[in-house]
Amino acid sequence: MPDMGIYPIAVFYLFTRRYPVGVDVVARHAPNGVEDDVSAIFDYGDLTATLSTSFRCHLANSAYIVGDEGYIEIPNFWRAKECHLYRGNEKVESFGDKRPSHGYNYETTAVGGDQGALLTVGAPYSFSLRALTAMSPSESTETSSTIGRQQTWQSST
């Protein structure tokens, strides 16, 4: 999951600022060893995240944050320009970001704004380490198809 998996993990972390207590993963790998199809269930105790990413099939590229009364839809979450709030199946509010984007200009601005800092407040170093740990398969399950791998996130801060 280190290559593609970080994107859905990062967007979920931005909403919860929490780390899962367990992870179940099904992953398939391209001939070069990089995962190209990943589905994961992140267990947070009181909530669950179902995350998928793939180069093998065309997914909607949307993030859904689902609650007991409705959900938030974020189309193209990795380069989001809009989001929609639904109560049941009825859209009750939308937000559109009208700023122009040219690829990584927001990331470049963030680094420049941090006076050349190596880290950003939005994604602290502790998150990066925990995400890498959770996404890295144990050596015993490193195959072209990893199924049922369970991992526990480090609890240090």
Quick one: which of 123, 120, 75, 81 has its CA closest to 102? 81
The total number of structural domains in the chain stands at 1
Sign of the torsion formed by the C-alpha atoms of 99, 100, 104 and 109: negative
Q: What is the mean pLDDT of residues 73-85?
A: 90
Note the pLDDT of residue 86.
98
pLDDT digits (tens, 9 = 90+) for 83-142: 999 999 999 999 998 887 766 676 677 666 655 566 666 666 677 777 666 555 543 333
Whether the predicted pLDDT of 1 surpasses 50: no
Q: Does residue 95 lie within any of the structural domains?
A: yes
Q: Which residue has the higher pLDDT, 23 or 140?
A: 23
Q: Does residue 94 lie within any of the structural domains?
A: yes
Q: Does residue 114 lie within any of the structural domains?
A: yes
Note the pLDDT of residue 3.
60
Q: Does residue 26 lie within any of the structural domains?
A: yes
Q: Does residue 80 lie within any of the structural domains?
A: yes
pLDDT digits (tens, 9 = 90+) for 43-60: 989 999 998 888 888 888
CATH (domain of 14)? 3.30.360.10
Give dist(CA 49, CA 3) in Å, integer: 19
Q: The whole model's pTM is what? A: 0.69
Give me the helix-helix angle, 6-16 and 125-135, nearest 10°: 130
Q: Does residue 157 lie within any of the structural domains?
A: no
**Would you state the structure tokens that stand for residue 120, as one six-digit string?**
């950003």
Q: Does residue 108 lie within any of the structural domains?
A: yes
Q: Does residue 90 lie within any of the structural domains?
A: yes
Q: Which domain holds residue 103?
A: 6-151
